[in-house]
Protein backbone atom coordinates (compact mmCIF):
# COMPACT_ATOMS: atom_id res chain seq x y z
CA UNK A 1 0.00 0.00 0.00
CA UNK A 2 1.45 3.35 -1.06
CA UNK A 3 1.14 6.40 1.15
CA UNK A 4 1.13 9.68 -0.77
CA UNK A 5 2.78 11.54 2.11
CA UNK A 6 5.74 9.17 2.20
CA UNK A 7 6.37 9.36 -1.52
CA UNK A 8 6.08 13.18 -1.51
CA UNK A 9 8.50 13.42 1.42
CA UNK A 10 10.90 11.03 -0.26
CA UNK A 11 10.77 13.03 -3.48
CA UNK A 12 11.35 16.30 -1.62
CA UNK A 13 14.35 14.89 0.26
CA UNK A 14 15.79 13.47 -2.95
CA UNK A 15 15.36 16.85 -4.66
CA UNK A 16 17.10 18.63 -1.76
CA UNK A 17 20.03 16.20 -1.89
CA UNK A 18 20.41 16.74 -5.64
CA UNK A 19 20.26 20.53 -5.31
CA UNK A 20 22.67 20.66 -2.35
CA UNK A 21 25.07 18.32 -4.09
CA UNK A 22 25.33 20.67 -7.07
CA UNK A 23 25.92 23.84 -5.06
CA UNK A 24 29.54 24.94 -5.26
CA UNK A 25 31.07 27.47 -2.89
CA UNK A 26 32.41 30.58 -4.50
CA UNK A 27 36.16 31.07 -4.17
CA UNK A 28 37.31 33.79 -1.78
CA UNK A 29 39.56 36.36 -3.43
CA UNK A 30 43.08 36.42 -1.98
CA UNK A 31 44.02 39.79 -0.52
CA UNK A 32 47.30 41.05 0.87
CA UNK A 33 46.82 41.75 4.61
CA UNK A 34 50.41 42.66 5.48
CA UNK A 35 49.66 46.38 5.29
CA UNK A 36 46.85 45.97 7.84
CA UNK A 37 49.19 44.61 10.52
CA UNK A 38 52.29 46.65 9.69
CA UNK A 39 51.85 49.11 12.58
CA UNK A 40 51.11 46.45 15.21
CA UNK A 41 53.58 44.99 17.70
CA UNK A 42 53.33 41.63 19.47
CA UNK A 43 52.87 41.71 23.24
CA UNK A 44 51.98 39.33 26.04
CA UNK A 45 48.48 39.90 27.37
CA UNK A 46 48.78 37.17 30.07
CA UNK A 47 48.58 35.86 32.64
CA UNK A 48 49.17 32.41 31.27
CA UNK A 49 47.16 29.46 32.49
CA UNK A 50 49.46 28.88 35.45
CA UNK A 51 49.54 32.52 36.45
CA UNK A 52 52.36 35.02 36.45
CA UNK A 53 55.49 34.89 38.55
CA UNK A 54 57.97 37.59 39.44
CA UNK A 55 60.54 35.81 41.53
CA UNK A 56 62.11 32.42 42.04
CA UNK A 57 65.18 31.47 44.03
CA UNK A 58 67.01 28.34 45.09
CA UNK A 59 70.00 27.26 47.13
CA UNK A 60 73.23 25.80 45.79
CA UNK A 61 73.51 23.65 48.93
CA UNK A 62 69.98 22.24 48.72
CA UNK A 63 69.62 21.27 45.05
CA UNK A 64 65.90 20.40 45.12
CA UNK A 65 64.68 23.30 47.28
CA UNK A 66 63.16 26.33 45.54
CA UNK A 67 61.02 29.31 46.53
CA UNK A 68 58.54 30.84 44.13
CA UNK A 69 56.91 34.27 44.43
CA UNK A 70 53.53 34.39 42.71
CA UNK A 71 51.81 37.59 41.63
CA UNK A 72 48.46 36.45 42.95
CA UNK A 73 49.33 33.95 45.63
CA UNK A 74 52.20 34.72 48.01
CA UNK A 75 55.36 32.65 48.50
CA UNK A 76 55.56 28.92 47.75
CA UNK A 77 58.24 26.32 48.55
CA UNK A 78 59.24 22.97 47.07
CA UNK A 79 61.73 20.48 48.46
CA UNK A 80 61.41 17.90 45.68
CA UNK A 81 62.49 19.91 42.64
CA UNK A 82 59.05 21.28 41.82
CA UNK A 83 56.84 18.20 41.97
CA UNK A 84 54.96 19.46 45.02
CA UNK A 85 54.58 23.04 46.24
CA UNK A 86 53.44 24.24 49.67
CA UNK A 87 52.46 27.79 50.64
CA UNK A 88 54.89 29.52 52.99
CA UNK A 89 53.09 32.81 53.58
CA UNK A 90 49.43 31.89 54.04
CA UNK A 91 47.86 34.55 56.30
CA UNK A 92 51.31 35.97 57.14
CA UNK A 93 51.76 38.81 54.64
CA UNK A 94 49.33 41.59 53.76
CA UNK A 95 50.43 41.97 50.14
CA UNK A 96 48.89 39.56 47.66
CA UNK A 97 51.89 39.63 45.31
CA UNK A 98 55.57 38.83 45.77
CA UNK A 99 57.95 40.80 43.57
CA UNK A 100 61.32 39.32 44.58
CA UNK A 101 62.66 36.24 46.36
CA UNK A 102 66.06 35.70 47.99
CA UNK A 103 67.28 32.60 49.82
CA UNK A 104 70.04 32.51 52.42
CA UNK A 105 72.71 29.85 51.92
CA UNK A 106 72.51 28.80 55.58
Alpha carbons 68 and 9: distance in angstroms, whole number? 68
State the average pLDDT over residues 57-67: 87
Listed in sequence order, the DSSP H helices in the chain are 4-22
- Separation CA 48–CA 52 (nearest Å): 7
Task: State residue 22 phi and psi, 5-degree precision.
Answer: -90, -10
For residue 76, the model assigns a pLDDT of 87
Residue 41 has pLDDT above 80, yes or no: yes
Q: Whole-prediction pTM value?
A: 0.47
> Where does the pLDDT of residue 79 fall: very low under 50, low under 70, confident under 90, or very high at 90 and above?
very high
Residue 55 confidence (pLDDT): 83
Amino acid sequence: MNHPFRSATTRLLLLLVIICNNVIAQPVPQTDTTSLFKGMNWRNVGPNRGGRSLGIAGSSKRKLEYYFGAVGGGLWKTTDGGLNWKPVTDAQITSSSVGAVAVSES
